A = this chain, B = another copy of it.
């Protein structure tokens, strides 16, 4: 909300945009989880964001130019949030962030598989993913060749979960 402008340093300004505990989490859920509605983000949030915080951050991210909001034709009260190009180009940063966290922090297997695949996929995979997001959120044309990056990541996640469940049940 407040435009600090503590300094014109790129890293500082980036921190002023998402140097808090929730903004990037929301963007992560929109980018990787495909969430577009308030309730989806609220209930689907793994970390349990509160509704007032979510409302505040959505507003802030819109003011910063990272999101836009539009009416959902299917429901007069429903709003669809879309990523802007500014937010879509965070994909490489999120990929790096995930890769770093996977190495240095106590990540869980099922939640780090996405980061692992995204790291291995590298720039080509990031580019493809960003094109998919531009299609979804900005209506850009897009030739759909094969499964989407998000679907691939999601499938890998579910495979790990299934595997873990299996291992737990056979051990019991």
Contacts and interface: CB of A to CB of B under 8 A. Distances in A.
Nearest to A99: B10
Interface residues of A, number: 46
A122 to B, nearest CB: 11
Contact of A93 (B96, B105, B111): B96
A153 to B, nearest CB: 13
A6 interface: yes
A9 B93 CA distance: 15
A48 B11 contact: no
B111 A9 contact: yes
Contacts of A21: 15-16, 19-20
Number of copies: 2
Contacts of A97: 10-11, 14, 93
Interface string A81-107: 000001001101110111111111111
A52 interface: no
A55 to B, nearest CB: 19
Interface of A: 5-17, 19-21, 24-25, 28, 46-48, 65, 86, 89-90, 92-94, 96-108, 110-112, 115
Closest CB pairs A-B (n = 4): A8-B108, A10-B101, A13-B105, A14-B101
5 contacts: A7-B111, A8-B107, A10-B115, A15-B25, A93-B93
